[in-house]
Chains A and B, each alone.
Chain A
């Protein structure tokens, strides 16, 4: 087994990753079947919106590979950055691109449509607020478009935009567009030609029957930000102890807000304490909100180590068995009965899949049993405390991802060992009461 569980040197990446207060940022991903035009669309968008540099565009124009046809520019080459991708004419892994307009900043994840690489689509979509699902107007939605749309919805993506592409190949026909609209659900439908640029950045002159916004307009105005206000959650990633006088609990706030003076509860111990300082490199704060990275100092000694969670307000759920929606991401699928490592917030714990095998790229319900109670919120309430990935113990590869929806029903029969444990706990409580009373 890897040395990772035994010899921890901790990198609190939270502080590295925490960006300074992003004003208006939209993260979106592409989705849809292979060849529907996702990469071409992103290339076109970057080009028309000024998000690509001249030398990059010149390199695309000079490329020997061109699938766009005589005299046209193959914009997919702007994002298909791997040699194998350009040679095979498909996207294999997500490309991340960045651009800004006066209205908003964007992070784009251009994902592969090929079924084999569904895991890479999920990778790209997992952090997004919007997904642009492309459909080739000539073929209509395929199984793969539907699978992608389903993954996007499961991941909690708020806005699904259906871009009906290659309108140039059907004579800009409204009837053809309507047919896709009726066949495929989505919050918005936009008829486009990624190749020609119609309705991507500029409104199309070829489709006067369409009165809606061009794609970029839509992306610039989708509501973003403020996820539902949730209770305060701080998964402890690191205990900072430079000397005997200072002891702080560091992590990225995974929900809600905390103020100096707040009473908080440390899990799993359940002990309460008051927040005396919120420490950062740039000085102490009076208040901090998700997703800031902070170090909390508490008013009393509490045994808290990595993997613990500091909370206030509604308590998270706690269960040894969880019910979740999961995606299997490697060839071996997810196998009932097998033990995995479950990574959740800042911790890694062994977990057994007790219900619901899934084949590669399969999406479905699973139940997992964990060796100790897991503190979580349903994914729909809090993405950070409701998500997990499964790691294979031998290969160390990430083989699955899941979104917790609830605690699973406990097994009906209580084992003798558990009964004994419960009895012992009661006895211990009594003893404690006794010693309290005796003033020990």
Chain B
């Protein structure tokens, strides 16, 4: 139930799951403060609203925020259009995360990933061991019985801890409602300028390139999950409050990550990324 590590952090992605995790961390140490920093891996492709929210909210609750970016890759102009999503993600997310953890000397990272998000995540332990290179070995996970989590590690190894493992998307929204957790406005429907690409609505941002023949249009939409601007689509929706989102969720027939271009490059692409150190 309690893990001991020399240096943990909370991976803060600014999304709804991170926001719930952050609230749970506040509760866990109340009336004390969260005794470890939040780490945001900034790909530089985040929505400006996310960065604005991140800085304001973490200041408001008095949390310590660290930000890490793979500067080398950014300087070399890494982007999904030239590299493809798979290589771009590898540099801006996976590498950045593994390097960021190493840079700050973190040996445990709490994250808001849930098992219901994707089929390889459904296989992951609450305490997920990573070797010295940050890699996951899904065929050789430690047994994990009851709530007796094993956080014992050898030098160089680290642990990813997923307290929301058994929460569903629905649970998360219900909790956000019950606990009045503030969220980035991108989650709520409003008219936005988008391009329609392969059925996904990609909100127009300075770093979103138009492909030949594409034009923008205005659609009432919202984001179901947050990611980088070029790679995460919005969905057509009128739901502009937590309660209307919950109502809408009951009717959904398609999974949450469907609007993430990066998850379906190839069969098992999430597993591949995770093995390499992705969250």
- By a beta-carbon cutoff of 8 Å, the part of chain A in contact with chain B is 2-5, 7-17, 19-20, 53-56, 59, 63, 78-79, 81-84, 86, 92-98, 100, 107, 119-120, 122-123, 126-127, 235, 237-238, 240-242, 246, 248, 250-252, 279-282, 293, 295, 306, 329, 341, 343-346, 383-384, 387-389, 391, 395-398, 401
Contact = CB atoms under 8 A, between A and B. Distances in A.
A16 B143 contact: no
Interface in B1-25: 1-8, 21, 24-25
Interface stretch (B32-40, B81-89, B200-208, B215-223): B32-40
A25 to B, nearest CB: 10
A15 B31 CA distance: 13
A19 B147 CA distance: 14
Given A17-B1, A343-B150, 12 more contacts: A12-B1, A16-B25, A53-B252, A53-B258, A81-B120, A95-B122, A98-B116, A122-B145, A235-B1, A252-B147, A343-B148, A401-B143
Given A11-B3, A119-B143, A389-B143, A95 B123 contact: yes
A84 B146 CA distance: 26
B237 interface: no
Contacts of B120: 81-82
B21 A387 contact: no
A119 B143 CA distance: 6
B207 to A, nearest CB: 27
A10 B4 contact: yes
A149 B25 CA distance: 38
Given A11-B2, A13-B2, A55-B258, A401 B271 contact: no
Interface stretch (B90-98, B160-168, B186-194): B160-168
A14 B1 contact: yes
Interface stretch (B70-78, B151-159, B225-233): B151-159
Nearest to B149: A13
Contacts of B28: 11-16, 250, 293
B144 interface: yes
B139 interface: yes
Given A81-B119, A127-B146, A401-B145, A11 B108 contact: yes
A288 B123 CA distance: 33
A195 B18 CA distance: 39
Contacts of B2: 10-14, 237-238, 306, 346
A122 to B, nearest CB: 6
Contacts of A388: 148
29 contacts: A8-B4, A9-B35, A11-B2, A13-B147, A14-B1, A15-B24, A16-B25, A17-B147, A20-B175, A53-B253, A55-B255, A81-B119, A82-B138, A82-B139, A86-B268, A96-B115, A96-B122, A98-B115, A98-B168, A100-B170, A122-B145, A237-B1, A240-B32, A279-B30, A281-B27, A384-B146, A387-B148, A396-B153, A401-B143
A383 B120 CA distance: 29
Given A280-B27, A396-B154, A398-B144, A9 B4 contact: yes
A266 B32 CA distance: 23
A83 B178 CA distance: 38
B122 A4 contact: no
Contacts of B142: 397-398
A280 B30 contact: yes
Interface residues of B, number: 70
B26 interface: yes
A123 B253 CA distance: 31
Q: 3 nearest interchain CB pairs?
A: A81-B119, A16-B163, A15-B28
A4 B31 contact: no
A329 B26 CA distance: 36
A63 to B, nearest CB: 7
B171 interface: yes
Contacts of A81: 118-123, 271
Contacts of B155: 2-3
A280 B27 CA distance: 7
A55 B3 CA distance: 37
Given A16-B25, A17-B147, A55-B254, A93 B171 contact: no
- Name the residue in B119, B141, B258 with the highest tally of chain A Cβ atoms < 10 Å from its Cβ: B119
B234 interface: no
Given A242-B32, A396-B154, A84 B25 contact: no
Contacts of A345: 1
B238 to A, nearest CB: 21
B150 A123 contact: no
B52 interface: no
A240 B26 CA distance: 12
Contact of B139 (A8, A10, A78, A93): A93
Contacts of B258: 53, 55
Given A56-B255, A82-B271, A83-B268, A123 B163 contact: no
Contacts of B268: 82-83, 86
Interface string B255-279: 1001000000001100110000000
- Name the residue in B139, B153, B165 with the highest tally of chain A Cβ atoms < 10 Å from its Cβ: B139
Contacts of B31: 240, 242, 246, 248, 279
Contacts of A100: 170
Nearest to B31: A242
B110 interface: yes
Given A55-B255, A95-B123, A83 B271 contact: yes
